[in-house]
Amino acid sequence: MDPSLFPLFGLFTVLLLVTGLYCVVATRNFIRLLIGLEIVTKGVTLLIILGGYLSGHMALAQALAITLIVIEVVVIAIAAGIVIAIYRKNGSLDANLMKNLKG
């Protein structure tokens, strides 16, 4: 295992996480928010695999990555269903216009 890989991969993992977080924070469109969440999950998956590669625990890292991917797909599927339901109810995907629950 080559420990010198960590700075390069670590930097790009952080950049992926920041890109995804920026997308989640800065967008008003619900679908783009889900895309941001996806990008964050990709960064985390890369970090798990990188940790497994550098430490030699590849089997465990792959098992955790597979678990994460399964959770990710279910979350996105349910969130997409909620987005479609929101669109059917409100006619828009703009988060600023969602004032149904405002007290």
Partner 1 sequence: MNLMLLTAMLLAALWAVFTRTLLKSAIALALASVLLTVIMFQLKSPLAAVFELSVCAGLITVVFVSTISLTQPQSDAQVLAHAGQRLRRYWFLPVLLALVVVGLDCAHLPLDFTPPTPEEAGLDVRNVLWNMRPTDLLGQVIIILAGVFGVVVLFKEKA
Q: Which residues bind partner 1 (CB under 8 A)?
A: 1, 3, 5-6, 8-9, 12, 14-16, 18-20, 22-23, 25-29, 31-32, 34-36, 38-39, 42, 45-46, 49-67, 69-74, 76-78, 80-85, 87, 93-94
Report DSSP state, residue 92.
-
Residue with tokens 């550098």: 54
Residue 2: left (phi > 0), alpha (psi -120 to 50), or beta?
A: beta
Are the CB atoms for 49 and 13 separated by under 8 Å? no
Smallest gap, in angstroms, from Cβ of residue 102 to partner 1? 21
The letter for the amino acid at 39 is: I
Least spacing, CB of residue 103 vs partner 1, in Å: 25
Least distance in angstroms from the C-beta of 17 to partner 1: 10
Give whichever of 64 and 98 is closer to partner 1, judged by the CB atom.
64
3-state secondary structure of 22: helix
